[in-house]
Amino acid sequence: MDRDNAIRKQLIKNGVRNLQEFGYSDCDEKNILEHSILKAFFIGMLEDNRGKDREIDRVIDKLLEELK
Protein backbone atom coordinates (compact mmCIF):
# COMPACT_ATOMS: atom_id res chain seq x y z
CA MET A 1 0.00 0.00 0.00
CA ASP A 2 2.94 2.36 0.44
CA ARG A 3 3.49 2.25 -3.30
CA ASP A 4 -0.18 3.08 -3.90
CA ASN A 5 0.11 6.03 -1.53
CA ALA A 6 3.21 7.28 -3.34
CA ILE A 7 1.44 6.98 -6.70
CA ARG A 8 -1.61 8.80 -5.28
CA LYS A 9 0.53 11.65 -3.98
CA GLN A 10 2.33 11.94 -7.33
CA LEU A 11 -0.95 11.98 -9.28
CA ILE A 12 -2.27 14.77 -7.06
CA LYS A 13 1.01 16.69 -7.31
CA ASN A 14 0.94 16.41 -11.11
CA GLY A 15 -2.70 17.52 -11.18
CA VAL A 16 -1.91 20.57 -9.06
CA ARG A 17 1.03 21.48 -11.30
CA ASN A 18 -1.08 21.12 -14.45
CA LEU A 19 -3.91 23.24 -13.08
CA GLN A 20 -1.48 25.92 -11.90
CA GLU A 21 0.01 25.98 -15.40
CA PHE A 22 -3.53 26.40 -16.80
CA GLY A 23 -3.90 29.53 -14.66
CA TYR A 24 -5.41 28.17 -11.46
CA SER A 25 -2.58 29.52 -9.31
CA ASP A 26 -4.54 28.95 -6.09
CA CYS A 27 -4.78 25.20 -6.74
CA ASP A 28 -3.16 23.07 -4.04
CA GLU A 29 -3.14 19.46 -2.86
CA LYS A 30 -6.21 20.01 -0.69
CA ASN A 31 -8.55 22.06 -2.84
CA ILE A 32 -7.94 19.97 -5.97
CA LEU A 33 -9.91 17.26 -4.14
CA GLU A 34 -12.63 19.59 -2.82
CA HIS A 35 -13.24 22.62 -5.08
CA SER A 36 -15.87 21.70 -7.65
CA ILE A 37 -14.17 23.26 -10.69
CA LEU A 38 -10.67 22.07 -9.81
CA LYS A 39 -12.01 18.62 -8.97
CA ALA A 40 -13.81 18.40 -12.32
CA PHE A 41 -10.61 19.20 -14.22
CA PHE A 42 -8.65 16.71 -12.10
CA ILE A 43 -11.21 13.96 -12.76
CA GLY A 44 -10.77 14.57 -16.49
CA MET A 45 -7.00 14.38 -16.16
CA LEU A 46 -7.23 11.12 -14.24
CA GLU A 47 -9.60 9.60 -16.78
CA ASP A 48 -7.28 10.65 -19.62
CA ASN A 49 -4.38 8.84 -17.93
CA ARG A 50 -6.14 5.50 -17.49
CA GLY A 51 -4.94 2.56 -19.53
CA LYS A 52 -1.22 3.18 -19.40
CA ASP A 53 -0.30 1.02 -16.40
CA ARG A 54 -2.42 -1.40 -14.34
CA GLU A 55 -0.87 -0.37 -11.03
CA ILE A 56 -1.49 3.30 -11.70
CA ASP A 57 -4.98 2.55 -13.01
CA ARG A 58 -5.83 0.90 -9.68
CA VAL A 59 -4.85 4.07 -7.81
CA ILE A 60 -6.65 6.27 -10.35
CA ASP A 61 -9.81 4.21 -9.88
CA LYS A 62 -9.64 4.68 -6.11
CA LEU A 63 -9.15 8.43 -6.52
CA LEU A 64 -12.05 8.65 -8.97
CA GLU A 65 -14.30 6.87 -6.47
CA GLU A 66 -13.33 9.42 -3.81
CA LEU A 67 -13.97 12.36 -6.11
CA LYS A 68 -17.33 11.36 -7.57
Residue from 67, 47, 66 nearest 57 by CA = 47
* Residue 7 contacts residue 62 (beta carbons within 8 Å): no
- Reported as a pLDDT band with limits 50, 70 and 90, residue 6 is very high
| CA angle 68–43–52, rounded 5-degree value | 120
SS3 of residue 1 by DSSP: coil
* For the chain, percent of residues with pLDDT exceeding 70: 99
Q: What is the pTM of this model?
A: 0.93
- The contacts found for 36-43 with CB under 8 angstroms, 24 or more apart, are 39/67, 41/15, 42/15, 42/67, 43/67, 43/68
Domain ranges of the chain: 2-67
Q: Is residue 1 pLDDT above 90, yes or no?
A: no
